[in-house]
Amino acid sequence: MESHRLDMLLVLDARQALSERGQLALSMADARFRLWGFLKTGADVSPAQVDRLCATFGFEQTYIPQHGHTERPVQVAWVPLTSAIPEQRGASAVQWKRRHVWSPGPRNRLIARLAAAIVQGDHQYLKERAPRLASCAGQFQFERTVVLAESPQQAVAIARRLPGWPIVAGEHDSDGLDPRDAARWRVRRALLPPDRPAVFTPDGLNRLDGDWADVIIWSGAGPVTPLLRTGKLIRRCDQARPLLLVDFGDRSGPTARRWTRRRREAYTAVRWTDLGRNPLTQPVGQFLERGIR
């Protein structure tokens, strides 16, 4: 291979570059080409191979779900939160969620107030409650904000405090609701993907226009964010604007802290980075930490 004549080298299976012959070819002193390695999603790669791939190709990655498309880059803004209803010994996770997460209590009052402040551009409130959000006001279109609730009950609790915000729900989300809420729900459920701020249930997420929203507030407390399970963020490469995900670091008890930690780990696994942080900081740090061990 006459590497001095190359401008770009594509390795169709990046793992082939880890072989003795591949490493020998890439170690040529006059190699000045740009190196790209392709790896199929879900490929069987050991932790040691991951480190060697990073050492060979670097830490920057691009996800290509289909031809000409990529995933919108996501930045995560963490807002600290301590519940007024601490975990009770012996209570199940569902019981605690009903009291703390889904009810019209302090947590959802805070979330609704924060959502309104983001859309209205209330920088003073944001500086006091979420300074990192205030600092990125020019990077995202705050008027394109939606709230993603963890349950229909929570969607109602939040929407009650956001006049004019419709609820976008699934076909059977109103089952089991209070009759007064269900009557109000039927009017709002007919809304198609919004051109204005709205509150979504998990089952209503399939109606979300993944290109319209610039800010998504995840109001749940569980270990998984429903947005991770959808393809809503896949867009043409020239339309893949950054997306801001607002999440809450709940410190009200061991379970809440564990769930927050698991969401952080899930975001890291798909390379969603903390707001204002260099996206390469975390993978480089993990690489160095594994090397030290």
pLDDT by residue (tens digit) across 231-244?
778 878 887 788 89
| Alpha carbon distance 247, 80 (integer Å) | 9
Task: Confirm if 156 and 185 have CB atoms less than 8 A apart.
Answer: yes
Task: Confirm if 162 and 194 have CB atoms less than 8 A apart.
Answer: no
Distance, CA of 1 to chain centre: 42
Q: Is 42 exposed, middle or buried (0-12, 13-18, 19+ CB in 10 A)?
A: exposed
Q: What is the mean pLDDT of residues 92-113?
A: 83
| Alpha carbon distance 227, 264 (integer Å) | 14
Tokens 């003795």 — which residue? 20
Q: What is the mean pLDDT of residues 5-32?
A: 82
In percent, how much of the chain has pLDDT > 90?
Answer: 18
pLDDT beyond 60 at 166: yes
The CATH code of the domain at 69-274 is 3.40.50.300
- What is the value of pTM for the model shown? 0.80
Cα three-residue angle 130-135-137, rounded to 5 degrees: 100
Q: Which of the pair, 176 or 49, is modelled with greater confidence?
A: 49
| Alpha carbon distance 140, 114 (integer Å) | 16
Who contacts 275 (Cβ-Cβ below 8 Å, separation ≥6)?
A: 75, 76, 77, 78, 132, 133, 136, 244
Please give the span between the terminal C-alpha atoms of the chain, in angstroms, as a whole number: 36
Q: Which amino acid is at 258?
A: R
Give me the pLDDT at residue 189, please: 47
Stretch(es) of the chain classified as CATH 3.40.50.300: 69-274
Pick from 125, 138, 129, 135: which is nearest to 276 by CA? 135
- The lowest-confidence range among 141-145, 148-152, 172-176 is 172-176
pLDDT beyond 80 at 155: yes
| Alpha carbon distance 190, 169 (integer Å) | 9
Token couple for 152: 């229909």
Give me the pLDDT at residue 110, please: 92
Query: In the structure, what pLDDT confidence band is assigned to residue 291 with cuts at 50, 70 and 90?
Result: low
pLDDT beyond 60 at 54: yes
Q: Which of the pair, 95 or 146, is modelled with greater confidence?
A: 146
Average pLDDT over all residues of the chain: 81
Give me the pLDDT at residue 87, please: 65
Give me the pLDDT at residue 191, please: 46
